[in-house]
Structure 1
Amino acid sequence: MGLCYRKLGNYDKAIEVYKKSLEIDPIGMTPLQNIAMAYMYKHEYYKAIDAYKRLEAIDKSNPEVYYGLGNVYANALHEYEKGLDYICKAYNLYIKIKSPYRTDAEKVINMIYSEMKKVGKEEEFNKILEENHISPFENNTGKSTDRDKAALFNIQKTLSARACVCIDSINTRNKSRVQVSEEISACIKKQISGYVSSLTILKSFSAMYKMMEQNKDSASQQAVPVMAPTSDELRHYYYDIERFMFFDCKEIRRKIRAEEIDNRLEVGDNPQSFALYTQAQEELNSGDFQKAIEYCEKALKIDPNFAFAWNTIALSYNKLGEYDKTVSACNESMRIDLLSMTPHFMKASAYREMKQFDKAIAAYQTLTSIIPDKPEPFYELGKFYFEVLHDVEKGLENMCTAYQVFNYDSPPIKADIENNIRLMYTEMKNAGKEELFEKIRKEHKVPSSSKP
């Protein structure tokens, strides 16, 4: 009802309705956010600030609260320093949860920079950034690289939204997970031709801008040949859109987790295929990995949707050091059951062995976005940052997130999480970063008992 009044422009009535909602739930985030927005529309900015401050007291980990406060101060009240501080907090939280909305925060930061630069406050601007652990600002808004990034983001966002509408129309009732996954895949594939066309135009404009910036007389040096994309490029474009959707489209997660999906196909209930799978397990345990693969391939000829057989093939190739084939088998397993953690972890491990660390991180992050309520993906990603990339801060952030989402159904992992947090504390203390450790720990509500 409050939303209806707000759409009609009757903000007083909208606020009245939202306040009644707060009487039922005094810490309700949604009514408070809507009250703040209604006051913004009424130009009662300090009342909007009060509403946002109440939200901040309830949840300090919500970037939208700080983004709202920053916009009120910067855009409405023109108090740019206060606005910048809040927008920086929002930006850091967007980065932490890997949200694409960080680009919105970047735009506001750019706007504030322009305003503060006009009055000679560049030094104050950079000081606020440094206090929020953001690198000092360089105004590159005119550079083609920044234009390219912004344009690419908008292309991906537009195509993701179109695919999301398609996915929303999928009926999951009485279908297997593989059928639902194939329909989701078809929705994404429909957008690839548009993606290719947009990228071609983007490359052409990028070349033109570079030529203009470098004062080149000849456009031929910057010409972009129009070539049909290879199958590898098409696959890469598909994953670009899919990865963006896991952060931007709630429907993709809702559909693959739908309760009415029939899961019987995933575990292989055909007696013949299961017997072959059992033989494959025996060969795997005895160390004959090639034989294990052969038995699983026979099982899959009988039952193509036997996800566990694909997992065994992936593990066998991993043992043989054939990591490209490991990744392919993991992709087949995920096509059948995207929610299973096993193929995601094996895929990340294979990329780790191939020293393709960006792809390993992407594999972990895909899993954290699909099942954000499980500690294991954050735990493994935290270990990867800490042990492989030696990035203690990112390792700690993910390990603390694992601690946050931990539940007591799996107590053994809690001890491992706490042990890793202690190791990270020791390393950060030795590097003189104890204060930063405390900041990250408190942000994730991890008790101080986790320290040595």
Structure 2
Amino acid sequence: MKKNLFLIFFTLSFICNAQTKDKIDTTKLFKELTDQACSCIDSISTYNRPKDSITANIGSCIDDKVGAYQLGQKFANMDLSNPTGEKKEINVTLNLNKNSQEYKDIYYEMEKYLMDNCSVLKDKIAANNLVNNNSMSTNQKALDLYNLAIEETKKENYKGAIENYKKAVKIDPNFAFAYDNMGICYRRLEQYDLALESYEKSLKIDPNGLMPLQNIAVVYSYKKEYQKAVKTYEKIATIDPNNPEVFYGIGQLYALHLNDTEKGLDNMCKAYKLYVEQKSPYRTDAEKLIQMIYADMKKNGNEAKFNEILKANNLNSN
């Protein structure tokens, strides 16, 4: 028997009506399993944890459901009725090698579904809660106000949240996370200059803070100051060179706003490879942008250049 094949023997007892042919609804099974994966992802803690550790946990939540779905697919075309009520032995061969195309296809299908339908997934992979010396306050009153602000943010009461963050930093001026989250609230209210001001205050406390830097890049994009956004991502790269968000952000800016699809594609390929290596579900977003760039380059007769850039990044057009 090949190493990557597992022969699983199931002895199933069915008590069914003689005229009934039981069938498994694979569409329903897929949704049930991915909903379970979403619940698993929701339970993952992101506090003071590096991204690769969080994405590894997310991958495990999805991995746990792939085998179950494979099994359901195998049973879907079998007649599971058993009018005699006797024990019925069914032999099923599953390919559980994670590098097999069968396994990858199901994993990526589940991942795409979760990106579109599991809101907590993006929250988990976007979390940047690594704690440095001044990230959190040691003052209980400041922490209480911070937690009140978090609750207001969940209710989308961003103005109320900002007021509590302001009170928290008045008590503890070195409360970096309060400035970071205040900036996010200002950004959601489209008060971009105030958002930048909040992030800059956080950076004065922690000059290498990845959360404010990433958010500064996003705000510059909203303000259509694209070169400033690129420079901010480049600064992040000096701190965290294997951060795929750097290459994704730069690639998106060049492809969609700076009219340089070749630079956009090269950076997006680098982002895609890092997402795959880190098992990040953001791989699907990078894939979509690569497909968009391909359509544009093909339209302009640059398909050969597209393939050349992919080859340079050890990717193929499939």
- Could you tell me which residue of structure 2 aligns to residue 448 of structure 1? 317
Q: What is the alpha-carbon distance in structure 1 between the residues aligned to residue 276 and residue 296 of structure 2?
A: 27
1:266 aligned counterpart, secondary structure: coil
Q: Distance in 1 between matches of 2:217 and 2:238?
A: 15
Residues 278 and 410 (structure 1), Cα distance of their counterparts in 2 relative to 1, 3 Å cut = farther
- d(CA) in 2 for partners of 1:369 and 1:445? 24
Q: CA contact under 8 A between 1:374 and 1:406: conserved in structure 2? A: no
Distance, in Å, in 1 between the alignment partners of 2:212 and 2:163 is 19
Please give the residue correspondences for 1:51-450 in structure 2 after superposition, counting only pairs within 5 Å.
263-406=132-275, 408-449=277-318
For the residue of structure 2 that corresponds to 1:411, the secondary structure is coil
Q: Which whole-Å CA distance do the structure 2 matches of 1:408 and 1:267 have between them?
A: 31
CA-CA distance at 1:279 after TM superposition: 0.8
| Segment of structure 1 superposing worse, 264-273 or 275-284 | 264-273
Pick the structure with greater CA Rg.
Answer: 1
* Counterpart for residue 236 of structure 1: none
What value does the CA root-mean-square deviation take over the aligned residues?
2.2
CA contact (8 A) 1:382 1:394 kept: yes
Q: Offset of 1:432 from its aligned partner?
A: 0.5
**Deviation string, structure 1 residues 183-222 (Cα, Å, up to 9, x no partner):** xxxxxxxxxxxxxxxxxxxxxxxxxxxxxxxxxxxxxxxx
Q: CA deviation at 1:405?
A: 3.3
Structure 1 pair 409–272 and aligned structure 2 pair: CA distance change class (3 A): farther
- Aligned residue pairs: how many? 188
Note if contact 1:339-1:371 (Cα within 8 Å) is conserved in structure 2: no
399-408 or 376-385, larger mean C-alpha shift: 399-408
More strand by share: 2
Separation of aligned partners in 1, 2:257 and 2:164:
35
The alpha carbon displacement at 1:338 in A equals 4.1
> Hey, what does 2:29 align to over in structure 1?
none
Check the 8 A contact 1:311/1:343 in 2, yes or no. Answer: yes
Letter in 1 for 2:254: Y
Q: Quick one: which amino acid aligns to residue 323 of structure 1?
A: Y
Unaligned runs of at least 5 residues, structure 1:
1-261
C-alpha distance in 1 between matches for 2:286 and 2:252: 9
Q: 1:408 to 1:269 in 2, by over 3 A?
A: farther
Task: Report if aligned partners of 1:403, 1:446 keep a CA contact under 8 Å in 2.
Answer: no
Aligned mates of 1:393, 1:423 — CA distance in 2: 12
**2:208, 2:240 → 1: CA distance?**
7
Counterpart secondary structure, 2:203: helix
Q: After superposition, what is the alpha-carbon deviation per residue over 1:353-379, rounded to whole angstroms, capped at 9, x for unaligned?
A: 322222122122211232111111211
- What is the rounded CA distance, in whole Å, between the counterparts of 2:206 and 2:316 in structure 1? 36
CA contact (8 A) 1:330 1:347 kept: yes
* 8 Å CA contact retained: 1:289, 1:320: yes
Deviation per CA, 1:200-252: give whole Å up to 9, x if none: xxxxxxxxxxxxxxxxxxxxxxxxxxxxxxxxxxxxxxxxxxxxxxxxxxxxx
Aligned-partner SS, 1:389 = coil
Q: Aligned residues: percent identity?
A: 36
Q: Distance between the aligned counterparts of 1:336 and 1:366, measured in 2?
A: 17
TM-score w.r.t. length of structure 2: 0.54
Residue identity in the other structure for 1:388: H
Residue 428 of structure 1 and its aligned partner are, at CA, apart by: 0.8
Q: Is the 8 Å Cα contact of residues 331 and 343 (structure 1) preserved in structure 2? A: yes
Partners of 2:284 and 2:183 in 1: how far apart? 29
Aligned residue type for 1:364: Y
Kept in 1: contact 2:226–2:253 (CA 8 A): no
Whether the 8 Å contact between 1:266 and 1:307 is mirrored in structure 2 is yes
In the alignment, structure 2 segments of 5+ residues that lack a partner are: 1-130
More displaced 10-residue stretch of structure 1: 421-430 or 397-406: 397-406
Distance across 1 between alignment mates of 2:222 and 2:288: 25
